[in-house]
Amino acid sequence: MKYPLRIIGILILFTNCNRNTNLQYEAVAIDSNWTFSALGKDDFNPAIVPGSVHMDLYRNKIIEDPFYELNELSLQWVEETNWEYKTTFDADNYFLLNENIKLNFNGLDTYAKIYLNDSLILSTNNMFRSWEVNVKNIITIDSNELRIVFESPILHNKNIVNDYPYKLPSGNEPKHIKTKTSNFTRKAAYQFGWDWGPRFVTMGIWKPVELIGWNSARIIDVFTQTNSIKNNIADLETDITIEVSTAGNYVVKIDSIETQKYFESGLHHFKYPYQIINPQLWWANNMGKPHLYEQNISLHKGNENIHKRKNCFGIRTVELVNEPDSIGTSFYFKLNGSPIFIKGANYIPQDVFLSRVTPKQYEQLIIAAKEANFNMLRVWGGGIYEKDIFYDLCDKYGILVWQDFMFSGSLYPNIPAFKENIKEEVKENIKRLRQHPCIAVWCGNNEIEVGWGNWGWQKEYGYNTSDSIHIWKAYHDIFRKLIPDQLSQLDPLRNYTPTSPLSNWGTKENFNHSSMHYWGVWHGKEPFENFKKNVGRFMVEYGFQSFPQLSTLSKVMNDSSLYLDSKAMDHRQKSYIGNDLIKTHVNQYFSPPKDFKEFVKLSQKTQAIGLEIAINSHKNKSPHCMGTLFWQFNDCWPGPSWSIIDYYGNKKDAYFCVKKAFK
């Protein structure tokens, strides 16, 4: 049985992973004494959990820095190797007296078999889910061995892909990869490669592992929803989900309000409607204060407080207006009833190796967004459903979030078990994230509908009419039925759009309708001036590349490689037209650079010019255009890309240009 990722994180924060005899719920991190080895080699070395196999190999000096020079090419063997992690831990008599004892795995990447004391207790198949398993009858007082065997996603899916009746596009994977498996694997797609990042198909324990114990009952979910705000009165409802193992009378306490209930064993949903007069609303950056309320929720049995949770929420309404109008089809947001011009960028994971992104890095990046006058970030669908800290910081600093589900630029198999896996992933992440006032809209996927309609997949892969009907049914089942069905049950007041963009940039008329990814400047090799001519109703993607500063490149490249045509520099450019297109635009605005150092600087100045023209064009055409999210905010490794902040947190010229344009 699984529970939302966010729950355990909050509970640990509350108990601080320490024993608390006044609070029966107990959570202990299993984060020490881990070792790892290639499966069957029995050559174990120290491992850090949470982490990844690449980082453990690097720390043990088995491999060199994956980001250095051409090491990406020499390390592809890691993705086709199976790996084993193990540790031992003790559990004293006190803990073993708990009525319920479970192991909780917040995130395993991806195909894993878990053994406790030689008993197979769990098999996993999704990086985006958490997993909880009952170990009451297996755990002992001391020397419990926990062993996790990770199977390579490539090896796991190779035969499945080859046996599938249709070849499906997996657009992000490099062309030289013969068997493309990313769209059959529920893990972060960008780790299989993208046009701004390397291919490192990771494995490992990427989120914490805990041993949890409790008696009688526990709180497993809390969700406060703003139903309406009228006449300075906010109508709210707090929904609490309680798991009961021992039937009986319980008291649910929300701040000072107590309600007595008799609960049978099982799951129970407790709803608490209430009003707040003259509420302090949650506002986006530069619109007002992003005020957050706090509730203390506790569960009592007799005179004993058996579990408690702290519930933070914001009071606000967000509405997406996407409907026919005098121009074509609108696409804009209202926050607390007020139309808002959206200003921001697309966000990607901050590292290929996710566990080494620190809380400090998260906060620095969100503060940078706030200081650049952003009011929205789009969590793009080829990465991850971000960690709780990301959304907590967006709540705190007033940054709205456009939240993609994790599907991008590919088609997915029409396999019932695969779709059931997606259903559980979607359900869990809706429950985990719906509490955050920053979440403005759910989006089913990135660029799949526009890809199906405009990228020539049918011809490239030889689909006939019957093939197309079968393949598109899988799309429809996931994005037009499965996801909206889950949202209607779990987060009914939040906006949903099935894909982005809803309109393609190929024709002039399309710029009058809905959301738009405009890549005429870049993929279409058009001049910056065309940003002025091609302004959609809501610009979700557009941009131009630049190089990071020389000091960033020097950290991962030899001095002898620091020129544009070196083998290592050429490999670091992941876009098929990247360097030539940058050179063309640099030479349009500046005299030819005298050396690579000057080229790097001029590439950043050129990017800044392009973004300034684009953003000002979007602002100047308001209310025809009501939002501008450029591609991209940040990087996952050091190299040329569309980012305005590089991998090490250095701000490019375009950052300051965007900050001024968004002011």
pLDDT above 60: residue 5: no
Looking at residue 236, which CATH number applies to its domain? 2.60.40.10
Contact present, 186 and 385 (Cβ < 8 Å): no
The stretch 164-183 carries a mean pLDDT of: 93
Q: Can you give the pLDDT at residue 13?
A: 29
Least confident of 17-21, 185-189, 205-209, 238-242: 17-21
Q: Are residues 189 and 234 in the same domain?
A: no
Q: Other C-beta atoms within 10 Å of 71: how many?
A: 16
pLDDT confidence band for 208 (50 / 70 / 90): very high
Domain boundary among 211, 242, 277: 211
Q: Are residues 239 and 180 in the same domain?
A: no
Q: Can you give the pLDDT at residue 599?
A: 98
Q: Are residues 514 and 542 in the same domain?
A: yes
Question: Is residue 87 in some structural domain?
Answer: yes
pLDDT confidence band for 92 (50 / 70 / 90): confident
Q: Are residues 232 and 362 in the same domain?
A: no
Q: In 3D, which of 481, 537, 488, 487 has the Cα closest to residue 514?
A: 537
Distance CA 382, CA 197 (A): 12
Looking at residue 186, which CATH number applies to its domain? 2.60.120.260
Q: Can you give the pLDDT at residue 171?
A: 82
Contact present, 383 and 348 (Cβ < 8 Å): yes
| Strand pairing report for 209-214 and 26-29 | antiparallel
Question: Is residue 329 in some structural domain?
Answer: no
pLDDT above 80: residue 120: yes
Question: Is residue 331 in some structural domain?
Answer: no
* Residue listed under structure tokens 């649910």: 252
Looking at residue 617, which CATH number applies to its domain? 3.20.20.80
Q: Are residues 429 and 445 in the same domain?
A: yes
For 534-568, write each residue's pLDDT tens digit.
999 999 999 999 999 999 999 999 999 999 999 99
Question: Is residue 471 in some structural domain?
Answer: yes
Q: Are residues 177 and 254 in the same domain?
A: no
Residue 261, token pair as written in the block: 């209930």
Paired residues of 276 in beta bridges: 234
Question: Is residue 333 in some structural domain?
Answer: no
Q: Other C-beta atoms within 10 Å of 21: how many?
A: 7
Question: Is residue 75 in some structural domain?
Answer: yes
Q: Are residues 609 and 471 in the same domain?
A: yes
Contact present, 210 and 104 (Cβ < 8 Å): yes
Domain boundary among 162, 190, 211: 211
The parent domain of residue 244 ranges over 219-313
Q: Are residues 528 and 417 in the same domain?
A: yes
Residue 609, token pair as written in the block: 């010019």
Q: Are residues 204 and 224 in the same domain?
A: no
Domain boundary among 211, 230, 248: 211
Question: Is residue 57 in some structural domain?
Answer: yes
Q: Are residues 307 and 363 in the same domain?
A: no
Q: Are residues 201 and 257 in the same domain?
A: no
Distance CA 663, CA 276 (A): 33
pLDDT confidence band for 94 (50 / 70 / 90): confident
Domain total in the chain: 3
Q: Are residues 207 and 233 in the same domain?
A: no
In this prediction, what percent of the chain has a pLDDT beyond 90? 94
Question: Is residue 475 in some structural domain?
Answer: yes
Q: In 3D, which of 377, 394, 477 has the Cα closest to residue 438?
A: 394
Q: Can you give the pLDDT at residue 7?
A: 28
Question: Which residues lie below 8 Å from residue 160, measured CB to CB, with a gap of 6+?
Answer: 184, 413
Q: Is the torsion defined by CA of 586, 587, 590, 595 positive or negative?
A: positive
